[in-house]
Structure 1
Amino acid sequence: MSIVIRDVREHELDSVLALNNNAGLAILPLDAQRLRRFHEQADYFRVAERDGNLAGFLVGFGSDNDHDSSNFAWFRQRYPQFFYIDRIVVASRRRGGGVGRAFYADVQSFAELRYPQLACEVFIDHGADPALLFHGSFGFREVGQHAMEGLGVRASMLMKELCSYPWVRDTYGDALPDLPWTRARRKSVATEQRPTGT
Structure 2
Amino acid sequence: MSIVVRDVREHELDSVLALNNAAGPSILPLDSARLRQFFNSADYFRVAERDGTLAGFLVGFGSRRGHDSSNFGWFAERHPDFMYIDRVVVASRRRGGGVGRTIYADVQGYAELRYPVLACEVFVEHDSDTARIFHGSFGFREVGQHVMPGTGIRASMLTKGMCSYAWVRDTYGDALPDEPWLTQPRPADEARLATGTR
TM-score by length of 2: 0.95
The one-letter code matched in structure 1 to 2:134 is F
Deviation at 1:149, TM superposition (A): 1.0
Counterparts of 1:35-184 in structure 2, within 5 Å, are 35-183=35-183
User: In the TM superposition, what whole-angstrom CA distance separates every residue of 1:54-94 from its partner, at most 9, and x where no partner exists?
Assistant: 00000000011231000000000010011000000000000
Query: Residue 184 and residue 42 in structure 1: after superposition, are their counterparts in 2 closer, same or farther (change >3 A)?
Result: farther
- For 2:63 and 2:4, the matched residues in 1 are separated by 27
The one-letter code matched in structure 2 to 1:119 is A
Counterparts of 1:10-25 in structure 2, within 5 Å, are 10-25=10-25
Deviation at 1:139, TM superposition (A): 0.3
| 1:44/1:59 contact within 8 Å kept | yes
User: In the TM superposition, what whole-angstrom CA distance separates every residue of 1:14-39 from its partner, at most 9, and x where no partner exists?
Assistant: 00000000000000000000000000
User: In the TM superposition, what whole-angstrom CA distance separates every residue of 1:85-141 from its partner, at most 9, and x where no partner exists?
Assistant: 000000000000000000110000000000001000000101100000000000000
The alignment partner of 2:77 has SS state of: helix
- For 1:177 and 1:14, the matched residues in 2 are separated by 35
- For 2:189 and 2:116, the matched residues in 1 are separated by 26
| 1:147/1:153 contact within 8 Å kept | yes
Deviation at 1:180, TM superposition (A): 1.4
TM-score by length of 1: 0.95
Deviation at 1:185, TM superposition (A): 3.7
Point out 4+ residue stretches in structure 1 off by more than 4 angstroms.
Answer: none
Deviation at 1:164, TM superposition (A): 0.3
1:34 alignment partner in structure 2: 34
User: Any unmatched runs of 5+ in structure 1?
Assistant: none
Deviation at 1:47, TM superposition (A): 0.2
- For 2:141 and 2:32, the matched residues in 1 are separated by 33
Deviation at 1:184, TM superposition (A): 5.9
- For 2:127 and 2:65, the matched residues in 1 are separated by 31
- For 2:165 and 2:6, the matched residues in 1 are separated by 23
Deviation at 1:191, TM superposition (A): 2.2
Query: Residue 185 and residue 25 in structure 1: after superposition, are their counterparts in 2 closer, same or farther (change >3 A)?
Result: farther
User: Any unmatched runs of 5+ in structure 2?
Assistant: none
- For 1:106 and 1:121, the matched residues in 2 are separated by 18
- For 1:46 and 1:10, the matched residues in 2 are separated by 11
- For 2:113 and 2:181, the matched residues in 1 are separated by 11
| 1:44/1:185 contact within 8 Å kept | no
- For 2:61 and 2:86, the matched residues in 1 are separated by 7
| 1:145/1:157 contact within 8 Å kept | yes
| 1:43/1:185 contact within 8 Å kept | no
| Identical columns (%) | 72
1:189 alignment partner in structure 2: 188
